[in-house]
Structure 1
Amino acid sequence: MPADAPTIVATSGGLRIGRRSRFAFAPLVEHAVELSGTTRRPKLVHLGTAAGDQRAWNAELDEAALNAGWDLRHLNLFAMPSVDDPEALLLDADVVWVGGGSVVNLLAVWRAHALDEIFRRVWQAGVVLGGVSAGSICWHVGGTTDSYGPQLRAVTNGLALLPYGNGVHYDSEAERRPLIQRLVAEGVLPTTHCTDDGVGLVYRGTDLVEAVSEVRGKGAYTVTRVIEDDDDGGRAVEERLEPRVLPGAR
């Protein structure tokens, strides 16, 4: 069942320690399922490209989905695509959830398999797209990444379904905030939306309509560039967005 508008849930969260399994899906993923509008057993497709399609991790998510009462399938791309028709698999989902890891490697592999084009069609068809960390940045113009090494760098070749930058782990990794602000001030990134750990951004079409949180007290932020005169190279201005706390938040 497609959502009633193209929808993306871009997060710095989505999983927590489970009661009967190592991990459980947390309220951010549950909210993505709710936004899909499905009235039957939810169907999710997981992509772990950014972490190299680790089968052990897939198994952990299989158990989490079983406990949630959801149907979960994986689209693996290593060493070859795991299905004959990736687009058909994605279009049949209610929610696509993309895991974290190397956003630079994810983007390169996706483009090698034409998933950049496929995802635009899947998004427009109303399948809810979501993810955490690399799985959040990928839908935007770009953000900051440790894909190249321990020192954070800019990535600017995201899928750009959303015409903004994206900052993840904004409160837990000290280098993220100053680098985002510098990149926006310099015009390397456009207006950028950022999330503390446990917070997600909900987009309908290309509009940011809401920030939501599965952890109380956390925030989301918009960082914009301000140029006050012709000689001003620009500076970054940060505005906090207060998230709506989701049911089941801790």
Structure 2
Amino acid sequence: MPAEVPTIVATSGGWTRRELGGIDWAGTAHLAVELARVPRDRAPRVTYLGTAGGDQRSWAGEVHAAGERAGFRTTVLDLFPMPSVPDVAAQVLGSDVVWVGGGSVANLLAVWRVHGLDGVFARAWEAGVVLGGVSAGSICWFTGGTTDSFGPELRPVTDGLGLLPYGNGVHYDSEARRRPLVHELVASGVLGETHCSDDGVGLVYQGTELVEAVAEVPGKGAYVVRREGPGVVETRVEPRLLRP
């Protein structure tokens, strides 16, 4: 039973640090699994892509351990030095949820396109596989956003997959340059309407409509930034607080 409509959960969250070390899947990732409507008689099939971080094997181990604790059947899909599964399209299309990690969104997009994943993800989204991710794994689904892919100074990226026809601003409250750069890019027309998330906040889309914002921690926000005249208007979207 796939998601009822094409669904994306784009976040500046998804992970939580464990007191004893390692990570666990956090509320926004669990929400993605819930939206996938997985039958109760089997474990959710979650495919994780760490392309943006260079497919680090140590992190893949953390992802597998977190998935085991959460009761997920987790597959880490590496693309370096070659795909780690025999049929990349079949792996993606056979998933309930695809979750994408952070890192370089510019490198991620280039590598995905070499392997034809841009088309595969469009097919999966339309088929009801829930797509999601954090940071670079959020921006990739949009037309573009702000990124440190090119160096320490934030710059725009404008060649996202475009499943969602908006810009995307991640880490809106934790990196000082993110908000003003989004405003500049929207005001200049480099980005269109842009949807932004504080750390720990997720944006939930059904089709291309933003249906709600959710938060893993209280006091956080989501924002819609639109061009108006020579400037911009930023509207706060109050998130629904997820249960721990």
TM-score range, shorter chain: over 0.9
Which structure 2 residues correspond to residues 1-250 of structure 1 after superposition, within 5 A? 1-18=1-18, 22-39=22-39, 40-227=42-229, 234-248=230-244
Instruction: Report the 3-state secondary structure (helix = DSSP H, G, I; strand = E; otherwise coil) of the residue aligned with 2:119.
Output: helix
Distance in 1 (CA, whole Å) between partners of 2:224 and 2:178 is 14
**Whole-angstrom distance in 2 between the partners of 1:95 and 1:213:** 19
Q: Deviations over 1:67-121 (max 9, x none)?
A: 1111100111000111121110011111000000000000000001111111000
After superposition, give the CA deviation of every residue in 1:174-197 in whole Å (9 maximum; x if it has no partner): 000000000000000010000000
Once residues 136 and 52 of structure 1 are traced to their aligned partners in structure 2, the CA distance between those partners, rounded to angstroms, is: 17
- Which stretch has the larger CA shift, 64-73 or 169-178? 64-73
| Partners of 1:54 and 1:138 in 2: CA distance | 19
| Greater mean deviation of Cα atoms: 78-87 or 181-190 | 78-87
Unaligned runs of 5+ in 1: 228-233
Query: Which runs of 5 or more structure 2 residues have no equivalent in the other structure?
Result: none
Structure 1 position 18, deviation (Å):
2.5
Structure 1 stretches of 4+ moved >3 Å? none
Number of matched pairs = 242
1:22 to partner: Cα distance: 1.0
The one-letter amino acid of 1:24's match is D
Equivalent AA in structure 1 for residue 78 of structure 2: N
CA shift for structure 1 position 214: 0.3
Q: Percent identity among equivalent residues?
A: 63
C-alpha separation in 1, matches of 2:132 and 2:31: 10
Code of the residue aligned with 1:238 in structure 2: it is E
| CA-to-aligned-CA distance 1:123-157 (integer Å, 9 cap, x gap) | 00000000000000000000000000000000000
| Cα shift readout 1:2-30 (whole Å, capped 9, x = no counterpart) | 10000000000011122565111111100
Question: What is the CA RMSD across the aligned residues, in angstroms?
Answer: 0.9
